[in-house]
Amino acid sequence: MPPTSSPVSREACVSQDLSDPLRGFRDRFHIPDGMIYLDGNSLGPMPRAAASVLNRTIEQEWGHDLIRSWNSAGWFDMPVRLGNRIGDLLGAASGQTIVCDTTSINLFKAIHAAIGLRPDRDVVIAESTSFPTDLYIIEGAMKSAGRTMQRRLIGVDGPSIEALLDQRVAVVVLSHVDYRTGGLLNMEAITRRIHEAGALVIWDVCHSAGAIELAFDRDAVDFAVGCTYKYLNGGPGSPAFIYVAKAHHAAARHPLSGWWGHAAPFAFDRDFEPDAGIRRFLCGTPPIISLRGVDVALDALEGIDLAALRQKSLAMTELFIARVTALLPEVAIVTPLQAALRGSQVSIAFDKGYSVVQAMIERGVIGDFRAPDIMRFGFAPLYLRLRDVWDAADILAECVRAEVWRDPRFQSRLTVT
């Protein structure tokens, strides 16, 4: 259980770390000595078992067994098998989640499928603050929908979802956690309101899967997409996933009708006949080595208590907010202070933020920066400790007090921030 109040000293943090029910999971990951890694919301660390598993995949399955491994090593079924494992973390029954492609490609599929399920409606709602690729993909999907579609943006065309919902809305695309602020939406309540308006919903759970309890089946989610390289720790560029509620399987179609989505891909039929289930959302040959990275990452999450995960996440973000507020009352924390509205990150708006993040990295605290002025710090409960949170806040304060932005070393912008 999280503390009822934030620890008042580093010693108290260490004491509470010793009673943390998740403390054993840290040993399943490779964390360089002396590093406090607060960027798991962008790229999770490597599971300790990853190197040996990937080496076996390369040397034995590919190197020795070659094409036989599609059968003998279970390559063919990996997208579905891994999808079911991720589905357990999403609160989704088996056969509704599949690992494939990228988040962007899967979002394109989901939007097309949702638009097709509402042929008499011509509006897509999205957030103006969405991660840019979501907005780009929505734009592209609308242009290729086969009929004229209109986009309505929350925060531009109206102040809220409710203000924009009407009988013309086909689908609403939402980020469960805002990538900049870490703000968390109420999935159950919002999905219900969208359904009451007769529309469908697509949730982007890139910044919540693996850090927050989810209940897709309970909440009647229609579609969802997410990545596996953040809190799921599948490795850089590891394949994404798509969830499609079983109720939509029979009618849902998407335009990327590749052979792996065929009902019988090795029958080599001339005409496309979609698989009856979630496999219809596959497209081309899956990237097996990358899928093995996801497989071993999910092994590292085996046995996790999602409720304890969320409780620890809230304890860490609560501590960081309290400590930063005490040390740097002048900075603006843009992450919601109310626990129910907060994901597993804390974001701070600061006009010299890029330089501060770079200086913190030099001191062993890894966060990241999002333009124009957001310092982001992700708190992954599996491998972080309360003492790490305390130390990170201290180092942040030291960098701000030292005005590190005056040092030319921290002013030059890297390509990836």
* Residues involved in catalysis: 131, 204, 229-230, 376
- The answer to whether the CB of 6 falls within 8 A of the CB of 318 is yes
Alpha helices by DSSP H, listed for 98-131, are 103-117
Q: Where in 263-409 does DSSP place strands (E)?
A: 332-333, 345-349, 365-366, 368-370, 374-378
The SS3 call for residue 273 is coil
Alpha carbon distances (Å) from 196 to 169, 192, 193: 11, 6, 5
| Strand 365-366 to 169-175 pairing | unpaired
**Hunting for tokens 């790490």 — which residue is that?**
388
Other Cβ atoms within 10 Å of 283 Cβ, number: 19
Strand order in the sheet with 97-99: 97-99, 241-244, 223-226, 200-204, 169-175, 123-127, 150-154
Other Cβ atoms within 10 Å of 58 Cβ, number: 13
